[in-house]
Amino acid sequence: MEADKVSVSEEELGAPAPVMTALTAAPMMKPPHESRWGSALIHILAIVVVLAAWYVITLFTPKYIFPTPQAVWEEMWQILSSGDLWPQLSATLQRTVYSLIGAMVIGTALGIVMGINNYWESFTRNWVYMALSMPGIVWAMLCVLWFGINEIALFIAVVFIIFPYVAVNVFEGVKGIDRELLDMGRSFKVERGAMIRKIVLPSLTPYLVGAVRQNFANSWKMVTIAELFGASMGIGFMIRTGFEFFDSAMMLAWVAWFALVIVAIEYAIIGPFRKYMLRWRPEIDEVI
């Protein structure tokens, strides 16, 4: 057992760190005891500090280059009131969800294969890590060259960028499966299909949910990158438009809207989804 632990960390030396998102990073940095009023005050302080710093910087830079907080706020309000927000938002969100589903399916399959079979593990390992280290924009460019500017190009590009992250996540999960359960299954001669359904998949649930949680934020960022080239709708396209008009207020306003929506979805949908999927498992702070 001891040797196993060391070997895993040794192996991970070459592995990339898991994707961190605002949602997964937040609990890491939270101090254990925090009163509600104190933390609300600190959050307000944070907002004030950031806005003040931003405002001070705008005093020393030309407006058309560095927009003031008010300019971005007005732009955000204008995007909302002109009804422009929803079509662009739904375009990007649809792409995000479809590509995430595609990447989850491919990544889970690959992760399980890598996890249960040593041959395929060393067969795919280097390629998966190489795929992880490719900048997403490169895939987007290649897919646009191959398939033209359309939804299929975007879908394939983002699936290709995201699925290695999912595969690594699931792979770790398969490695973490309780060996005793498997040995028991094997000595009772459970067939492979039933082993996967009854033992492998249930123990993978936390990792799969983790993969969804991490890669939802990741895939909307990748969709944004792909949209810079390959779309005429969506957040990436709007950022590109703002870039071409030298309109940094417009770029920031669109990004702010989308970041708000994504964080809202993370907290309102994905957080509860995770709680629901893992409801059988006590939280760490309940146990200790």
Partner 1 sequence: MPTQANRVGHVSIGVQPEDPPWKRLLFKTVLQPKVASVLVIVVCWLIAAALLPQDVIPGPLDVLREAKHIAINDNPLQAIGITMLRILAAWAVAMAIGTPVGILMASGRVFNGVLRDLVLVFMALPLVIWALLAVLWFGGSLMAPIVAGAAVAFPFTAVNVYEGVASVDRDMLRMARVYRLPKLVVLRKIMMPSMMPFIFASARQAFAMVWKTIAILEIFGASSGMGWEIEGQYERSSLAGVFVWIITFAAVMMVFELAVFSTFEKHTFRWRPKIGDLR
At a CB cut-off of 8 Å and minimum separation 6, what does 170 contact? 107, 108, 110, 111, 112, 115, 204, 207, 208, 211
Nearer to partner 1, 25 or 268 (CB): 25
The string of DSSP codes covering 68-94 is -HHHHHHHHHHHHHTT-HHHHHHHHHH
If DSSP codes are grouped into helix, strand and coil, which group holds residue 288? Answer: coil
At a CB cut-off of 8 Å and minimum separation 6, what does 112 contact? 170, 174, 196, 200, 204
Counting contacts by CB under 8 A, is residue 286 touching partner 1?
no
Counting contacts by CB under 8 A, is residue 219 touching partner 1?
no
Counting contacts by CB under 8 A, is residue 255 touching partner 1?
yes
Q: Map the footprint of partner 1 across residues 150-189, applying CB under 8 A.
A: 174-175, 177, 179, 182
Task: Out of 56, 81, 83, 133, name the contact with partner 1 by CB under 8 A.
Answer: 133
Counting contacts by CB under 8 A, is residue 55 touching partner 1?
no
Q: Map the footprint of partner 1 across residues 70-129, applying CB under 8 A.
A: 115-124, 126-127
Q: Map the footprint of partner 1 across residues 199-218, applying CB under 8 A.
A: 200, 217
Taking CB under 8 A as the binding criterion, the range among 73-81, 100-108, 148-156, 246-254 that sits at the site for partner 1 is: 246-254
Task: Out of 51, 138, 152, 268, name the contact with partner 1 by CB under 8 A.
Answer: 138
Place of tokens 């030309």: 62
At a CB cut-off of 8 Å and minimum separation 6, what does 210 contact? 169
Q: Map the footprint of partner 1 across residues 6-45, applying CB under 8 A.
A: 6-8, 10-11, 13-14, 16-17, 20-22, 25-26, 28-31, 34, 38-39, 42-43, 45
Q: Whole-number minimum distance, CB 146 to partner 1, in Å?
A: 7
Report the alpha-carbon distance of residue 156 to residue 151 in Å, rounded.
9
Q: Whole-number minimum distance, CB 279 to partner 1, in Å?
A: 26
* Cβ(162)–Cβ(219) below 8 Å: yes
Count of residues binding partner 1 (CB under 8 A)? 82
Taking CB under 8 A as the binding criterion, the range among 98-106, 207-215, 238-246, 276-284 that sits at the site for partner 1 is: 238-246
Nearer to partner 1, 59 or 83 (CB): 59
Report the alpha-carbon distance of residue 42 to residue 174 in Å, rounded.
41
Nearer to partner 1, 49 or 105 (CB): 49
At a CB cut-off of 8 Å and minimum separation 6, what does 57 contact? 66
